[in-house]
Amino acid sequence: MEAEDMDMTMIGATYNVNESMSISGSQTTYGENGFNVGSASMGGFDNSGSLGYLGADDVNLAIGGAYAMGDFTLGATMNTITNEASDDDREVMHISAGYTMSANANLSLSMATDTKGDTETNYMWITLNVMP
């Protein structure tokens, strides 16, 4: 079985406005065969809690910001996904609020709104990270 040639390129930058606030931007482009590593578990918000891999020839322009207030964090990212080959454009807004409970644990609440064509899908999830 021959492996398929896949490619993805991401260019991004983050600017720390001050010690509590940062803004970031990135552009991710996918090749004509897309990019999908099955072992990475990047199936989208309903599977992985992230945007996941996009389709062939997709371009994602993401602009976001984060703000920390002691143990609390707030973040928002707007993704504009375009595809010249299929005119299958979509926008994904992802917001999150987090709380650091201790040096070993944090809790966050996230919400994403994904508009694809005339369909809008909303996701909401809670994540608890516990580190030994």
Residue 45 lies in a domain: no
Q: Does residue 42 lie in a domain region?
A: no
Q: How confident is the model at residue 53 (pLDDT cuts 50, 70, 90)?
A: confident
Instruction: Indicate whether 81 belongs to any domain.
Output: yes
Instruction: Give the model's pLDDT for residue 67.
Output: 98
Q: Count the domains in the chain.
A: 1
Where is mean pLDDT largest: 11-20, 26-35, 43-52?
Answer: 11-20
- Within-domain flag for 41: no
Kindly tell me if the per-residue pLDDT of 3 is higher than 60.
Answer: no
Sequence-separated (6 or more) residues with CB below 8 Å from residue 3: none
Q: Report the predicted TM-score, pTM, of the whole model to 2 decimal places.
A: 0.81
Quick one: pLDDT at residue 1? 39
Q: Does residue 58 belong to any structural domain of this protein? A: yes
Residue 103 is predicted with a pLDDT of 93
User: Does residue 2 fall inside a structural domain?
Assistant: no
- Domain extent, residue 72, equals 8-34+54-130
Max CA-CA distance within the chain? Answer: 52
